[in-house]
Amino acid sequence: MLELQILIDGFAISALYALGAVGFTLMFGVSGVLNLAHGATMVVAAVTAWVVAGQYAVNPWMAAVAGTGAGVVTAFATYFLIVRPIQRSRSVPAAEKEIFVLTGTLLWGIMIQEAVAYFYTDNPKTVRPLLAGVMQIGGVRTPINELLIAVICWSVIGLLWLLVNRSKAGKVLLAASINPRALTLLGFELSRVYLMVWLIYGVLAGVAGVLLATFLGASSAQASQLTASAFSIVVLGGLGSVSGSLLAAYIVGYLETMTAYLISPTYRTIPALVLLVLVIYVRPRGLLGRR
């Protein structure tokens, strides 16, 4: 029943990748920022959940909420301390702002990573599964938590879709990713739109981080790997395209799972990397990218 195992595990892992990638691509699509402190944000959420669960002996759901909150706080810190000052800076030439934001968030991510490692060591932290127990699906023993993760990820993604496509606020976000000047002319303060994006981003990254902790465990040493995966998935799918990120997350998730099971866990990341290189050479804007 290896195929079924791969199918199920792949689905859960991909869902988690998808959640991480969607936040990343939304951030780029609306505000043009490639947040290289993404992995660190997820790690902060994960470790906060672990600390709260451990030190205050609360149930895992409360810890999850605390972790998500920490994700939001980190996201805002990134915006107010690093990204916004650079974007508003008068000494950075406009053409180089993107690079400075990239380098700045990269350094900030490293600082967060090291700070977490200093206080809590870089051992992987796990949080007790939100729902314990295993289930039999067609003969395969699957932890219920794994299924729950897939369900939560997709619910959050679904909520996001509803928000963007069916709510007034969401339409504003969508418009911001297409033509911010139009919004200004219609009386919307762009600064408030950006605040909204960072809030949503914080929630997405926070939830992804917490779920990662319950599933595979998270350690500060993984921060750059997490950022790199999200980045690769997003570019594969097309920078700024949410559906592209979802598709790419599943392609990558399944490629990794299949490689891990059928070839060897050590070579897990290779097929996806090769695919990424091919895409960059052949179709740089990604599978579903617009530009």
Partner 1 sequence: MTEALRGLLKSRLFWIALCGTVVLVTLPWVVSAYVLGILTVAYYFGVFAMSWDLLFGFANEVNFGPTFLIGSGAYAAGLLNASGAPIWLCLIAGGAAALVGGVVLAVPALRLSGPYFGLTTLVAVLLLQQFIVIFASRTGGEIGLTMNDILSMDTTTNYWYALGFMAVSGLILFTLSRSAVGLILQASGQDRIGASALGFNVVKHKLAAFCISAVFSGLAGAMLVFYLGTASVGTVVDVSVGVQVIIAAVLGGRRTIVGAAIGSIFLIVAGEALRPLGQLSTFVVSGIALLVILFFVDGLMGLLLRGREET
Partner 2 sequence: MTDLRAPAAAVSVPLLDVRGITKRFGGLVAAKDITFQIGAGEILGLIGPNGSGKSTVMQIIMGIHRPNAGSVRVTGVDVAGWPPHRIAQQGVGIVFQHSRPLHRQTVLENIMLGLLPDKLLKLAADRHVREKAREIAERVGLGGVLNRKPGTLPFADLRRMELAKAIARDSQVVLIDEPFAGLTTGEVAAFARLIADFRNDGRAVLLVDHNVKSVAALADRVFAMYLGERIAEGTPEEVTRDATVRRVYLGGGIEVATRPARNARGAALLQVENVSVLYGKAQALECVSIHVDEGEFVSVVGLNGAGKTTLFNAISGLVPYSGRISWDGKELRGRSAAAIARHGIVHCPETRELVGDMSVRENLDLASHHLTAAQAAQQLEWLYHLFPRLRDRERQIARTMSGGEQQMLAIARSLMMRPTLLILDEPTLGLAPVILEQISNALEQLRNTTSITVLLGEQNVTFALPHADRIYVMDHARIVWEGEPSRFAAEVADTYL
Residue 190 binds which entry of partner 2, partner 1, none, CB below 5-8 Å type-dependent: partner 2
Q: How far is the CB of 164 from partner 1 (least distance, A)?
A: 22
Q: How far is the CB of 189 from partner 2 (least distance, A)?
A: 5
Residue 175 binds which entry of partner 2, partner 1, none, CB below 5-8 Å type-dependent: partner 2
Residue nearer to partner 1 on the CB measure, 15 or 272? 272
Residues 216-275 that bind partner 2 (CB under 8 A): none
> Measured between alpha carbons, how far is 213 from 245 in angstroms, rounded to an integer?
22
Q: How far is the CB of 29 from partner 1 (least distance, A)?
A: 12
- Number of residues in contact with partner 2 under rule CB under 8 A: 17
Residue 189 binds which entry of partner 2, partner 1, none, CB below 5-8 Å type-dependent: partner 2
| Interface contacts to partner 1, rule CB under 8 A | 34, 82, 85-86, 89, 91-92, 98-100, 102-104, 106-108, 110-111, 114-115, 117-118, 224, 228, 231-232, 235, 239, 266-267, 269-270, 273-274, 276-277, 280-281, 284
State CA 97 to chain mean position distance. Answer: 23
CA 267 vs CA 26, 230, 254, 255: distances in Å = 30, 18, 14, 11
Using CB under 8 A as the binding rule, whether residue 155 contacts partner 2 is answered as no
Q: For 4, how many CA atoms within 13 A lie in the half-sphere containing its CB?
A: 8
Residue nearer to partner 2 on the CB measure, 133 or 187? 187
Residue nearer to partner 1 on the CB measure, 11 or 108? 108
Residue 128 and residue 50 in contact, taking contact as beta carbons nearer than 8 Å: no
Residue 204: both structure tokens together:
């997405």
Choose the binding region for partner 2 from 79-87, 181-189, 209-217, 238-246 (rule: CB under 8 A). Answer: 181-189
Choose the binding region for partner 2 from 136-144, 176-184, 219-227, 266-274 (rule: CB under 8 A). Answer: 176-184
Q: How far apart are the first and last CA of the chain?
A: 42
x-marked contacts with partner 2 along 58-77 as a string, rule CB under 8 A: --------------------
**Identified binder of partner 2 from the candidate list 154, 161, 188, 261, rule CB under 8 A:** 188
Residue nearer to partner 1 on the CB measure, 101 or 127? 101
Residue 228 binds which entry of partner 2, partner 1, none, CB below 5-8 Å type-dependent: partner 1
State CA 15 to chain mean position distance. Answer: 11
Using CB under 8 A as the binding rule, whether residue 167 contacts partner 2 is answered as no
Residue nearer to partner 1 on the CB measure, 102 or 174? 102
Residue 177: both structure tokens together:
């990713």
| Interaction site with partner 2 (CB under 8 A) | 168, 171-172, 174-175, 178-179, 181-190
